[in-house]
Amino acid sequence: NAGVTQTPKFQVLKTGQSMTLQCAQDMNHNSMYWYRQDPGMGLRLIYYSASEGTTDKGEVPNGYNVSRLNKREFSLRLESAAPSQTSVYFCASSEARRAHSSNEKLFFGSGTQLSVL
Amino acid sequence: DQQVKQNSPSLSVQEGRISILNCDYTNSMFDYFLWYKKYPAEGPTFLISISSIKDKNEDGRFTVFLNKSAKHLSLHIVPSQPGDSAVYFCAAPYTDKLIFGTGTRLQVFP
């Protein structure tokens, strides 16, 4: 099993360009998440989805959109990239039917390093 | 407002000795705590967790201690090994979010 797969691994964008980060999991998990990691900030939740067809905002949703296409896939879109969106992006999934249930472990992808010039 | 704080950005420990990573929190409503480990160019992986009704949980070389009165938890690694060199995040689930600390980079040297 591949677990959580993210593409691409690296991306460089110019300010104003758009792109979609793809994420797929093969563990039949219910909940999926997008985080960003910045130096000195830990991991911050952008958006999450507790089930197919539902999405909710996290701590830092501005400038992003998401789509839970089916149970396996959860994509993150930057419509007009800004330098402040330079970060490492992680997709994660968990079995929980309610996002971030108390003792549910998250399984993370290997990340996408995004630079916006 | 940082509800989960890791005040030590880095820690260096000799192989075979004990590593102690600390985490403080401000929200007394947290009922569970988790530690994740992250290697460079990889995603975080779950390491160990503890319920707020316990004060200790042990898994092999890893032990997490919880002091609710002090709102403090710590991760002990004994003995430390070079393969333990990574960034360690503590985290607490609350409502629909998992709140992460800023991480501590552990380096274990020979």
Confidence of residue A53 (pLDDT cuts 50, 70, 90): confident
Q: Over range A21-32, report the average pLDDT.
A: 94
**Integer Cα distance of A52 and A66 in angstroms:** 12
**Integer Cα distance of A44 and A17 in angstroms:** 23
How many C-beta atoms surround the C-beta of residue B28 within 10 A? 9
Q: Hey, what are B57's tokens?
A: 């949980």
φ/ψ (deg, to 5) at A51: -165, 165
Mutating which of B7, B59, B97, B105 best tests the A interface, going by the most A Cβ atoms within 10 A?
B97
Contacts of A62 (CB under 8 A, 6+ apart): none
Q: Do the Cβ atoms of A106 and B98 come within 8 Å?
A: yes
**Integer Cα distance of B96 and B103 in angstroms:** 21
Instruction: For A1-117, list the strands marked E by DSSP.
Output: 4-7, 10-13, 19-25, 31-38, 42-51, 54-57, 64-67, 75-78, 87-94, 107-108, 112-116
A77-81, A95-99, B8-12, B75-79: least confident range? A95-99
Q: Over range B36-51, report the average pLDDT.
A: 94
Q: Which residues of chain A approach chain B closer than 8 Å at the C-beta?
A: 4, 33, 40-45, 48, 50, 56, 58-59, 90, 92, 98-111
Q: What pLDDT is attached to residue B93?
A: 86
Q: Over range B11-24, report the average pLDDT.
A: 98
How many C-beta atoms surround the C-beta of residue A34 within 10 A? 27
Confidence of residue B103 (pLDDT cuts 50, 70, 90): very high
Is the Cβ of B100 closer than 8 Å to some Cβ of chain A?
A: yes
Evaluate if residue B50 carries a pLDDT over 70.
Answer: yes
3-state secondary structure B9-78: CEEEEECCCCEEEEEEECCCCCCEEEEEEECCCCCCEEEEEEECCCCEEEECCEEEEEECCCCEEEEEEC
> Quick one: DSSP state of residue B110?
-
Evaluate if residue A77 carries a pLDDT over 90.
Answer: yes
**Integer Cα distance of B18 and B62 in angstroms:** 10
Distance, first Cα to last Cα, chain A = 36
In chain A, what percentage of residues exceed pLDDT 90?
Answer: 78
Q: What pLDDT is attached to residue A95?
A: 85
Confidence of residue B1 (pLDDT cuts 50, 70, 90): low
Task: Assign residue A36 a region (left: φ > 0; alpha: ψ between -120 and 50; beta: otherwise).
Answer: beta
